[in-house]
Amino acid sequence: MTFLDLLRSASVRHDSMLCVGLDPEPQRFPLHWRGDAARMADFCMAIVDATADRVCAFKPQIAYFAAHGAEAQLERVIHHIRAVAPGVPVILDAKRGDIGSTAEQYAREAFERYRADAVTLSPFMGFDTVEPYLRYEGKGAFLLCRTSNPGGDDFQAQRLADVPGQPRLFEHIARLAQGSWNRNGQLGLVVGATRPAEIERVRALAPTLPLLIPGVGAQGGDADATVRAGWRADAPIVVNSSRAILYAGSGPDFATAARAEAERTRVQLNAARG
């Protein structure tokens, strides 16, 4: 099954648009593991066990593991997802973006070493930095388009004088992803939940692409506005929440608390869909 097949199937099977982001911070672990980076995999696997039937995807963020030299723990976590949540896709949040020969190695890392189903990428350096990922048949790639961080305005909101119609940069990226760059139907876009009006604009420009929408939960994104702006029956959205779910509890029952928060978020998202 392709990434899109997996995503659509998991979304229907679990009646969910929720993606749980796996961003393990040892200093925020439950008290009995707090500060112990050797427990990153154990922490994430407990979250996976607790939420596997409530999500449409999991999104491990590679930097949280790499900062502690814990890439082997990331491999364990992804292997565990395969074992306990077969059919739930894994989106490797790496935000890579480099020249073609280096991109080939990053693609190999994402799809061969970690065996992810999709990866996040920066399109800033152009299509030749994206194309190596598209050689992996059935894999997905989400391009950063309109992000939720304040500095996103520095470039993404600027108009392109040399492009007909002078679109804003994020609009140009959305058109490319919907059009000529999407050679094998593998692309999606990342749009922050804190910008619902711009989610709606991206959806208008890219009506068939999956949207990965971070920022619901701890970042303050409006779940209802996010779904209304981005959801379409034939175009999935993947609404990510990380910290609000991971750190919903700090005691031995942290996984139970995470499941309760995941279920609350899933229900809220579904209610906004109508």
pLDDT attached to residue 48: 98
Question: Which CATH number is associated with domain 3-273?
Answer: 3.20.20.70
pLDDT attached to residue 219: 58
Q: What does the pLDDT look like over 126-164, one tens digit per residue?
A: 999 999 999 999 999 999 999 988 899 899 999 999 999
pLDDT attached to residue 227: 94
pLDDT attached to residue 216: 77
Model confidence at 220, in pLDDT bands (50, 70, 90)?
low
Domain residue spans of the chain: 3-273
Q: Which of 193, 146, 151 is nearest to 171 (CA)?
A: 146
- Better pLDDT: 222 or 36: 36
pLDDT attached to residue 239: 96
Residue 218 has pLDDT above 70, yes or no: no
Residue 221 has pLDDT above 80, yes or no: no
* Range with the poorest average pLDDT among 33-37, 220-224, 267-271: 220-224
pLDDT attached to residue 274: 76
Mean predicted lDDT score pLDDT of the chain: 95
- What proportion of the chain, given as a percentage, has pLDDT over 70? 98
What's the mean pLDDT in 168-180? 97
Q: What does the pLDDT look like over 50-83, one tens digit per residue?
A: 999 999 999 999 999 999 999 999 999 999 999 9
By annotation, the residues acting in catalysis are: 95
Residue 101 has pLDDT above 60, yes or no: yes
154 is written with which tokens? 């520095």
Residue 34 has pLDDT above 60, yes or no: yes
pLDDT attached to residue 67: 98
